[in-house]
């Protein structure tokens, strides 16, 4: 079973690119973030016609929004609310007896101080709650994917020194995400596949004149599997070429095969 995660940055605008991803990456299940539309506007039929009729999604106007699209039957779709908000940043469902959790963790704003910037506090609280949620239960075999908006390792950014005080790579965020992985019994399947030395990015800013030339990326998107599944990850990929497509998302699809 191939599972992909992609921050699509508007599912309506990039519906043709979603079809491209289906054609080239060929996932069995894809988890989207930042769909940016309410459920009534979600292109259910068009995506079903592309071969992915099993769907679960939660969206809101303009912001956030998550979806799980599958060509295999999907059951028990559900979600939790986090950090005292009702925003659409999480959805989960079971495919092939494995529960898949799809997250869009808050970006966290600009200033890495919760007193000055409530968005940063929201992000920290969100990660803490997710950590506690998974630490409190033996969840069996599960997968956690999404745009987690944190690059935890030095090898996950173009310059660990220059990004030290930049939200997504501060020490506090890095510690919190590594703690989430450890306490939840997760295995970082993408990093595990490529090894500790490889420089890995899943996001490149729109602001670079030439993203390929500047190559100032960050690994903000992740796929974790519970430790019992670690040995069953037979491949992993970061589909970087999607960043070079016409009208791309600033994130690229990442995948594992179980």
Partner DNA sequence: ATGGCAAATTGAATTTGA
What residues contact 31, with CB distance under 8 A and at least 6 apart?
3, 4, 5, 6, 66, 67, 68, 69, 100, 102, 145, 146
Q: How far is the CB of 41 from DNA (least distance, A)?
A: 7
Piece of 48-56, 57-65, 132-140, 231-239 that binds DNA (CB under 7 A) = 57-65
Near DNA by CB under 7 A: residue from 6, 36, 200, 242: 36
Q: How far apart are CA 59 and CA 63, in angstroms?
A: 8
29 in Cβ contact with 47 (< 8 Å): no
Angle of helix 171-183 relative to helix 118-135, nearest 10 degrees, comes to 20
SS3 81: coil
CA dist 220 to 17, 134, 147, 153, 165, Å?
A: 20, 20, 6, 10, 16
Near DNA by CB under 7 A: residue from 61, 75, 85, 183: 61
Near DNA by CB under 7 A: residue from 110, 113, 175, 241: 110
What is the footprint of DNA within residues 210-229 (CB under 7 A)?
Answer: 210, 214, 216, 218, 220
246 lies in the site for DNA, by CB under 7 A: no
209 lies in the site for DNA, by CB under 7 A: yes
167 lies in the site for DNA, by CB under 7 A: yes
12 lies in the site for DNA, by CB under 7 A: yes
26 in Cβ contact with 52 (< 8 Å): no
Near DNA by CB under 7 A: residue from 16, 49, 62, 175: 62
16 lies in the site for DNA, by CB under 7 A: no
Residues near DNA, by CB under 7 A:
7, 9-10, 12-13, 34, 36-37, 61-63, 106-110, 119, 147, 149, 162, 165-168, 203, 205-210, 214, 216, 218, 220, 247, 250-251
């Amino acid at each position: 079973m191939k599972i992909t995660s992609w921050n699509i940055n508007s599912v309506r605008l990039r519906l043709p690119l979603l079809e491209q991803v289906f054609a080239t990456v060929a996932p069995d299940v894809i988890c989207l973030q930042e769909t940016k539309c309410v459920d009534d506007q979600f292109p259910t039929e068009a995506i079903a016609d592309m071969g992915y009729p099993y769907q679960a999604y939660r969206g809101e106007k303009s912001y956030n929004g998550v979806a799980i699209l599958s060509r295999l039957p999907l059951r028990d779709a559900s979600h939790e609310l986090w950090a005292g908000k009702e925003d659409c940043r999480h959805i989960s469902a079971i495919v092939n007896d494995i529960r898949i959790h799809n997250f869009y963790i808050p970006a966290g704003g600009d200033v890495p101080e919760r007193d000055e910037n409530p968005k940063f506090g929201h992000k920290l609280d969100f990660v803490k709650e997710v950590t506690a949620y998974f630490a409190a239960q033996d969840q069996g075999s599960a997968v956690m994917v999404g745009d987690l908006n944190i690059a935890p390792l030095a090898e996950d950014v173009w310059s660990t020194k220059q990004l030290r005080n930049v939200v997504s790579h501060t020490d506090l965020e890095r510690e919190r995400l590594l703690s989430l992985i450890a306490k939840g019994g997760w295995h970082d399947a993408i990093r595990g596949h490529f090894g500790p030395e490889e420089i890995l990015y899943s996001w490149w800013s729109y602001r670079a004149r030439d993203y390929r030339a500047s190559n100032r990326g960050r690994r903000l998107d992740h796929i974790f599997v519970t430790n019992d599944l670690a040995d069953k990850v037979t491949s992993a990929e970061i589909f970087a070429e999607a960043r070079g497509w016409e009208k791309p998302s600033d994130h690229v699809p990442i995948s594992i095969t179980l």
